Structure formats: C-alpha cells, structure tokens
C-alpha cells in the first residue's frame, strides 16, 4: 500500500491573537485567508509572496492602523467585487452599517451582507468593519460562535485608532 502525503491547502498558517489564519497564494497573488482554530498545525510561509503576506498580517496585529499593499486575486461576481472594493475605503477604527454601504452602492443591505460573507480575503478586505444598524451583525455568514469572536477581536483591536489611543 502506498502512503499518501496530505498536502495543505495553504502556503502558510500563522498564529494570531485569536487563533490561526491560513493563506492561499497562487500565481503571485493572494487568493484567500481562512480563519482556523488555534490548534491548527502552523506552517511557515513557503514563497516570497506568502512571506510578504505573513509580514503584513503580523504588522497589522502589532499596528491596527497599518494598510495592506499586496497583490490580490479578487474573484467574485461584479456586485461582490464592487462591495469588496468599497470595504477597502472604510478606515481602520471606523465602521459603517450594511444599510449605509448599500445606499452608497445603490444596492440592498442583504446583498451587501451576502457579499461581505463571501469575502475570500478577510482582514485585507475589511468586511469586519460593516455592522448591523442595531449592533455588530454577522460575520462570515455566521450570527454566533467563533466568527463573531473574530469580528469582535478585530473591531476591538482597531477601536483605539478612532479614539486616538
């Protein structure tokens, strides 16, 4: 019987203050970031781009006001891409509501929420900065559990910027 090596779907898995993140890199572009449990096996970056992404993420975790200048593969419907581009205009430490973003894009809050939930590059494309009119809203198509804990951590991490801390 031949043994098979299971290949990781990630080019790096990094520890974060709230668990781990896995990154998918191909053709010199960042294709995806996944939130993973804290006990997920770490994996050192295996390419120059994955090392650059890892450095940018680590810089963000140390400095929530930092921005990202990375080559991104932004693959989605025309509406999703429009929403994702709009998300990058929301500065760290600030939020907007699904309704406000929908009005700005001449869309609907539900369509904006669906696009946010389909975002393949959370943190880099900051969907966590979009909240419900009556509170934080969902994150990654979830209304509770770990995804909301990630969103809370990210918003709290950035909250000192808006307060001038």
> For 96, left (φ over 0), alpha (ψ -120 to 50), or beta?
beta
Check if 127 is active-site: yes
* Angstrom distance (rounded) from CA 126 to CA 116: 9
DSSP conformation class of 43? B
C-beta separation of 35 from 122 below 8 A = yes
Q: How many CB atoms lie within 10 A of CB 48?
A: 10
For residue 93, what is the enclosing H or E element? none
Relative orientation angle of helices 98-105 and 109-117, to the nearest 10 degrees: 110
Number of H helices, E strands in the chain: 5, 5
| Catalytic site residue from 127, 140, 154, 155 | 127
* Angstrom distance (rounded) from CA 138 to CA 130: 9
The residues annotated as belonging to the active site are: 127
């Amino acid at each position: 019987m031949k043994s098979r090596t299971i290949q990781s779907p990630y080019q790096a898995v990094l520890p974060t203050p709230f668990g781990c993140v896995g990154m998918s890199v191909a053709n010199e572009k960042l294709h995806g970031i996944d939130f993973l449990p804290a006990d997920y096996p770490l994996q050192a970056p295996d390419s120059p781009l994955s090392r650059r992404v890892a450095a940018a993420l680590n810089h963000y975790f140390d400095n929530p006001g930092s921005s990202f200048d990375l080559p991104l593969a932004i693959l989605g419907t025309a509406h999703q891409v429009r929403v994702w581009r709009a998300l990058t205009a929301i500065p760290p430490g600030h939020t907007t509501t699904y309704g406000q973003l929908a009005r700005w894009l001449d869309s609907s809050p539900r369509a904006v929420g669906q696009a946010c939930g389909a975002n393949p590059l959370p943190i880099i494309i900051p969907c966590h900065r979009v909240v419900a009119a009556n509170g934080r809203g969902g994150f990654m198509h979830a209304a509770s559990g770990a995804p909301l804990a990630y969103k809370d951590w990210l918003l709290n991490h950035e909250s000192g910027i808006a307060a001038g801390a």
